[in-house]
Amino acid sequence: MTPEQIDMVQGSFAKVVPIKDAAAAIFYARLFEIAPEVKPYFKGDMTEQGAKLMATLGVVVNGLKNLDAIVPVAQKLAVGHVAYGVKPEDYQSVGAALLYTLGQGLGDGFTPEVEAAWTEAYTILSGVMIGAAYPAAAE
């Protein structure tokens, strides 16, 4: 990622933080709409799950300038998600739901450039996560 893309991701996420609860609700509603097969992975309180999602996104977004620090955390998270039944192909639906959520939350601020920056960030991180959790799928 370029420094400009990192700045765009971080700047746009800062605008989502004030509406993080609504953003999390939008994210999961969209995820379950486009990938209903993932709903059984979530057995707990969805409000709490949304808070965890937004906190994790915050750590990742804030760490984009130091990928060496966040990659091991993302890898560990991905390996842990295997136990919930998460499959490599689920990452595509999560990425689509994330971009949709950002579009809803940012409105006109979700420019093609911001979308491209988020897509790049998600592609990098999901690739690392899939590689850690499913080494055969990453090949």
Q: Encode the chain (139 residues) as per-residue pLDDT tens digits.
A: 899 999 999 999 999 999 999 999 999 999 999 999 999 998 889 999 999 999 999 999 999 999 898 999 899 999 999 988 899 999 999 999 999 999 999 999 999 999 999 999 999 999 999 999 998 765 5
The CA distances from residue 45 to 14, 16, 42, 52, 123, in Å, are 25, 22, 8, 11, 28
CATH superfamily of 3-138: Globins (1.10.490.10)
Domain ranges in the chain are 3-138
